[in-house]
Amino acid sequence: MTDRPRIYLYDTTLRDGAQTQGVDFTAADKAAIARELDALGIDYIEGGWPGANPTDDAFFADPPRFKRARLTAFGMTRRPGRSAGNDPGLNALFNATDGVPGAGVCLVGKTWDFHVDVALNIPRGENLDLIRDSVAETAARGREPLFDAEHFFDGYKANPDYALACVRAAYEGGARWVVLCDTNGGSLPHEVEAIVAAVARIIPGDRLGIHCHNDTENAVANSLAAVRAGARMIQGTLNGLGERCGNANLISLIPTLSLKMGYETGVDEEGMRRLVHVSRLLDDRLNRAPNRHAAYVGESAFAHKGGLHVSAVEKDPTSYEHVPPESVGNRRHVVVSDQAGRSNVLARLREVGISIEPGDPRVGALVEAVKRREFEGYAYDGAEASFELLARRTLGTLPDYFRLISFRVLDERRWNAQGQLVTLSEATAKLEVPGVADALMTVAEGNGPVNALDTALRKALIPAYPHLDGMRLVDYKVRILTPQDGTKAVTRVMIETRMPDGAPWVTVGVSANVIDASFNALFDSITYCLYRAGATVPTA
């Protein structure tokens, strides 16, 4: 416990972030990201809008269980002409969160008179009833009610009395948090601070939240201005995802609140050191390159290149670093030196449960292996299983479960007897298993070359390693690393694998040949499955 003021963090990556152009989360993506947010220490995780689309419905049908966070469903206030208890939209939210301990429901409602007049086309007094009734019904159903005051800042500028009446209705209805939304993203920090201060005179700051969009590149600044004015909850997204120009970036806000402004959040020091990992994991999920110049977590955030900067940093890093890079899980990178990375690798080893003395010469070998492979295109921030395997191989603690001799994959595209265009994939794999006298060769068909290769490998291995039965590939992503090379480009493949009763793991492979890259990732996935299952190498 501390005496620092507490700021609550509400993540809306899974809904607002999903509205980013080019972003399309699967239910598995959402579950994996939600687990990372919970581990990070986020207070509220908004899972989506039940009833809005099949992905959100699938997520709420089997939501992850959190250790710290409160799962929240998003929706809107009741429709005009419906009672709150008989509104299909509200009931969808209650049904989706039924049986979820401590679930929250966040309701969005109009607070700009212009929208009430034009979009809803109802009397302004009736809109106040919609807000108050919906919040009260949410509380009566045993959910924690939150109210997102849509377009609040534009509404306040146009008609402050009516905007305040809207948020007062939510507060009187029992809202735990009344969240002021800069929906159009056009407000500036001085405006936000003044308006939030005005609201705080009628609603206590420990019941006020802020939700900012980034259309003027001020979402983070506006969020901090709201906190200065008394708000005690911030809504935002990982890496600033969101519609149009994005939302307030929690990855930037978290360390700024704690390290710069002295506030306490649910993210402790250990969680802070996971920020780089979480930021890059999201980018890997989205199959896009991380922003090298992102504040705190970018590869260049603590990079120093020749001359006076390097000389000063080698004497005292604080001369050119505003916070220690390790505090946010990043690392110092001196371009003219080969010393960067050792502490980061040691931290990663601790994370996967590998204990080793910092002076052990094998640590240096692992650092060089990581550098070499990252230069080749490997990325271990989103592929923890591959990093752990690389570490254990380098340290000599990983068994050789099998050895590939060769594989061949054939694809055939043709018209069948019914006049249908079909594509068939067939894989042949030849490998050696310790304790098995002869080399094993299997052939399998699959839905695509990777599925065929996976099936052929496990067909050969399961008799010796029944642990592999039930292992399933649940996601597969390819990224082009050298787009200038066209169809000859080097590719990176990320494979996510899961056992029926366990959490998923991610592995990575790189090659100029996409099937070879896929095999590299698949090989690691199978090996990791065997290692985590405690498989023993057969003996003759």
Question: Is pLDDT of 338 > 50?
Answer: no
The count of domains in the chain is: 3
Same domain, 476 and 521: yes
Same domain, 373 and 411: no
In a domain, 278, yes or no: no
- Give the E-state strand segments of 322-392 in sequence order: 333-334
Question: Is pLDDT of 353 > 60?
Answer: yes
User: For the whole model, what pTM was predicted?
Assistant: 0.73
Same domain, 407 and 387: no
Of the candidate ranges 132-136, 150-154, 213-217, 299-303, the one whose mean pLDDT is the lowest: 299-303
- Residue-wise pLDDT tens digits, 498-537: 988 777 899 999 999 999 999 999 999 999 999 999 999 9
On whether the CB atoms of residues 108 and 72 are closer than 8 A, the answer is no
Rounded to the nearest 5 degrees, what angle is found at the Cα of 168, between the Cα atoms of 164 and 170?
Answer: 125
Q: Which residue has the tokens 């940093």?
A: 313
What phi and psi values does residue 394 have, to the nearest 5 degrees?
Answer: -65, -35
State residue 336's pLDDT score: 34
In a domain, 290, yes or no: no
- Residue-wise pLDDT tens digits, 383-438: 889 999 999 999 999 999 999 999 999 999 989 889 999 899 999 999 999 988 88
Q: What is the mean pLDDT of residues 286-296?
A: 90
Domain boundary among the residues 369, 395, 421 is at 395
Same domain, 379 and 408: no
Element (H, E) at 237: none
Same domain, 387 and 425: no
Same domain, 326 and 453: no
In a domain, 182, yes or no: yes
Residue 352 binned pLDDT confidence (cut-offs 50, 70, 90): confident
Same domain, 260 and 314: no
Same domain, 214 and 323: no
Q: What is the mean pLDDT of residues 488-500?
A: 90
In a domain, 469, yes or no: yes
User: For residue 501, which amino acid is it?
Assistant: D
- Residue-wise pLDDT tens digits, 151-184: 999 999 999 999 999 999 999 999 999 999 999 9
Same domain, 453 and 347: no
Q: What is the mean pLDDT of residues 308-337?
A: 75
**Helix, strand, coil fractions of the chain, as percent rounded to 5:** 40, 20, 35
Domain boundary among the residues 363, 395, 427 is at 395
Same domain, 206 and 258: yes
Instruction: From 334, 260, 327, 263, select the one nearest 297 (Cα to Cα).
Output: 327
Which residues form the domain of 441?
Answer: 403-533
- Residue-wise pLDDT tens digits, 113-152: 999 999 999 999 999 999 999 999 999 999 999 999 999 9
Domain boundary among the residues 373, 395, 417 is at 395
Instruction: From 412, 447, 454, 451, select the one nearest 429 (Cα to Cα).
Output: 454
Same domain, 380 and 438: no
CATH number (domain holding residue 444): 3.30.160.270
In a domain, 285, yes or no: no
In a domain, 540, yes or no: no
Same domain, 96 and 145: yes
Instruction: From 273, 283, 176, select the one nearest 237 (Cα to Cα).
Output: 283
- Residue-wise pLDDT tens digits, 442-465: 999 999 999 999 999 999 999 999
CATH number (domain holding residue 151): 3.20.20.70
On whether the CB atoms of residues 509 and 524 are closer than 8 A, the answer is yes
Which residues, at least 6 apart from 536, have a Cβ–Cβ distance to it below 8 Å?
A: 399
In a domain, 280, yes or no: no
Q: Which residue has the tokens 């309701």?
A: 107
Write down the mean pLDDT value for the chain: 92
Q: What does the DSSP assignment read for 31-86?
A: HHHHHHHHHHT-SEEEEE-TTT-HHHHHHHHSPPPPSSPEEEEEEEPPPTTS-GGG
Percent of the chain with pLDDT over 70: 95
In a domain, 286, yes or no: no
